[in-house]
Amino acid sequence: MLRALALAALLALAPADRARASWMEPPPPYRPKDFAILWYQGFYHIFYTRIDTSLPETATTRDLGHAVSSDLYYWEQLDPILTVDPARWDNAHVWAPSVVIENGVFHLYYTGVSSRAGSYSSRERIGLATSTDLLNWTRTSAPVFACDLVPWAYCDSLDAGTAFRDPFVMQDPGDPRRRLVYYSANPASDPGTMVVGVAESDGDWTAWSDLGPLWISHLASTGSNVAESPHLFDHNGLWYLFLTVNGSEPLAWATGPDPLGGPSSWTYRGRLSELLGYSTAAWFASEHVRNGSYDYLAFLNGQRIEIKRMMWRADGGFDLADPNGFRITGMGWSAPEVGHGDSVTLTIRSSWWMGRSAAIRLLRVIPDGTEEPLSMEAMGMASSIPLTGDTTFYRWRAVVPPGGGVISYADADLIVRLEDGTAETPKLRVDPPPPPPEAGWAQDPSEDGLILLRPRPRRAPGAPVEFLVELQLAGEVRLELFDLQGRRLRTLAERRMPAGATVIDWNGRDAAGRRARPGIYFARLRTQWGTRVARAVLEP
């Protein structure tokens, strides 16, 4: 959360330095080359090979650039990462990043290039860096993958320019515990050409095992002896492989039902320009990013990285269009936990909001992680909220989802998600009202014998209402007060209590200090051992 707030603050600065266009263009003297793009917690991040055009080729690409945007139109340049260190193995260049996340840790794979003083050498290997905030990165001390681990790949013993670069890493769709890396290499059987290779890793993301080449990327299929910058993604059960080849139209693509399928399972589709019907001669090194139900194709175009929305056709092809500038950039709650009947505010942050509404769904998160869609009407929440500014505030009276048509007396974790899946709130815990005791009800502590809650007789007219809490063991407790409609008036105690008896007073006022009406109220005691409810009468 702190990282997201820091990035939001950065994007609020220096609007004059940002261009309104669906591309990212570094300031002079830099221009981008191979890159990675990802969407995470309301922001798009681009990590890119950064070429300093004021330096000779041998002295540039000494770090990776980093730019961030919330809407694909306004980009902020952040500090570069992975600066070349002469004492490290990747002492010459760093190229072509690819980023994946697992358990809150980002893994950035990249091409590291090493050289030896006094000799012509340019050895390409794949390195790894990790981060928990996308801003600060720690590199492994050695490369994690190289051509000498690939039996079919050509490795030049003089390290004089063998291709082994451009990693693209993704989770294996057939086994979530496994990762796949696609990369560019020279096959030993035809070292004058390049193909896309594949390797796998089973949990140790620094150790990779060869799975062979994707021969669909070879000269025999593409008509090109170059196969660089591969990336894959799926749409409607079909896998799309994009790569950069040589020739007048560099972007090419293929499709297949399995990202690890053999040559016969892939279909080479040709150059992207043939699909789109116009020239893409200046486009290369493409990448894909998905945000909810939206797919985007990003690619290098001269001095900048452009991003286009993919408009899918029924035949599996697509057209490209500018991204929709309107974007919900984040949603949240005014409090992480409320009681049944309490008022809570849903905040919606957006860009280009005028005349727009947010179409939302309310879902209950089951303890096993599954989600249950809820009736917006039954929950008293609007399914479409008109946006009124950069931040829209929508007040809602929280309710526990009914079970079987009657009110539930169990906690509920709720989230609001946009219909298109591009943003959602954190969980909101809604505490249930206490089950009202029947007339003449008396608490029986014999079930576990650890906790007891009961009202004490009033000492005198106008004296506070007193509740006796008895614990056999010290522990954390929470004592809350509700009216007959199940609305929480206030929390009387939330602290650690000692073993034994403790008396807690209620002065007859709610959380805002207003005097409550005379009548019947219910106190609920929650502890690690269980819950107890007691009825109390507030007299005039």
Strand partners, 480: 491, 524
- For 94-113, how does the pLDDT look when each residue is reduced to its tens digit (9 = 90+)? 999 999 999 999 999 999 99
pLDDT value at residue 437: 52
pLDDT value at residue 17: 39
Contact yes or no for 327/70 (Cβ under 8 A): yes
Tell me how far apart the alpha carbons of residues 341 and 210 are, in angstroms, rounded to a whole number. Answer: 58
Q: What DSSP line would sit under 20-86, residue for residue?
A: SSSEE-PPTTEEEEEEEEEEETTEEEEEEEEEETTS-GGG---SEEEEEESSSSS-EEEEEES---T
Strand partners, 102: 105
Whether residues 196 and 76 fall in one domain: yes
381: left (phi over 0), alpha (psi -120 to 50) or beta: beta
pLDDT value at residue 519: 86
pLDDT band at 179; cut points 50, 70, 90: very high
Whether residues 150 and 51 fall in one domain: yes
pLDDT value at residue 428: 95
pLDDT value at residue 119: 63
Q: What is the CATH number of the domain that holds 499?
A: 2.60.40.2550
pLDDT value at residue 339: 84
pLDDT value at residue 63: 96
pLDDT value at residue 536: 84
Whether residues 126 and 170 fall in one domain: yes
- For 49-80, how does the pLDDT look when each residue is reduced to its tens digit (9 = 90+)? 999 999 998 889 999 999 999 889 889 999 99
Q: CA of 254: how far to CAs of 233, 285, 404, 466, 490, in Å? A: 11, 15, 51, 75, 62
Instruction: Tell me whether residue 87 is exposed, middle or buried, using C-beta atoms within 10 angstroms of its C-beta: 0 to 12, 13 to 18, 19 or more.
Output: exposed
pLDDT band at 12; cut points 50, 70, 90: very low
User: Is it the case that residue 319 has pLDDT exceeding 80?
Assistant: yes
User: Is it the case that residue 345 has pLDDT exceeding 90?
Assistant: yes
Strand pairing category for 412-418 and 465-471 = unpaired
CB atoms under 10 Å from CB of 178, counted, come to: 13
Q: What is the CATH number of the domain that holds 14?
A: 2.115.10.20
The answer to whether position 385 is within a domain reads: yes
Domains contained in the chain, number:
3
The mean pLDDT value for 346-375 works out to: 91
Contact yes or no for 209/203 (Cβ under 8 A): no
For residues 405 and 286, the model is more confident at: 286
Share of the chain above pLDDT 90, in %: 62
Asked which of 10-14, 313-317, 336-340 is least confident by mean pLDDT, the reply is 10-14
Q: Strand, helix or coil at 256?
A: strand
Whether residues 412 and 368 fall in one domain: yes
The answer to whether position 371 is within a domain reads: yes
What is the DSSP secondary structure assignment for residue 145, as one 8-state letter? Answer: B
- For 155-175, how does the pLDDT look when each residue is reduced to its tens digit (9 = 90+)? 986 666 789 999 999 999 999
Whether residues 213 and 354 fall in one domain: no
- Residue ending a domain, among 321, 354, 369, is 321
User: Is it the case that residue 357 has pLDDT exceeding 70?
Assistant: yes
- For 429-448, how does the pLDDT look when each residue is reduced to its tens digit (9 = 90+)? 998 776 555 433 344 443 44
Q: What is the CA radius of gyration of the chain?
A: 30
- Residue ending a domain, among 321, 344, 365, is 321
pTM for the full model?
A: 0.70
For residues 381 and 204, the model is more confident at: 381
pLDDT value at residue 14: 36
The mean pLDDT value for 240-249 works out to: 96
Q: What domain range includes position 235?
A: 2-321
User: Is it the case that residue 7 has pLDDT exceeding 70?
Assistant: no
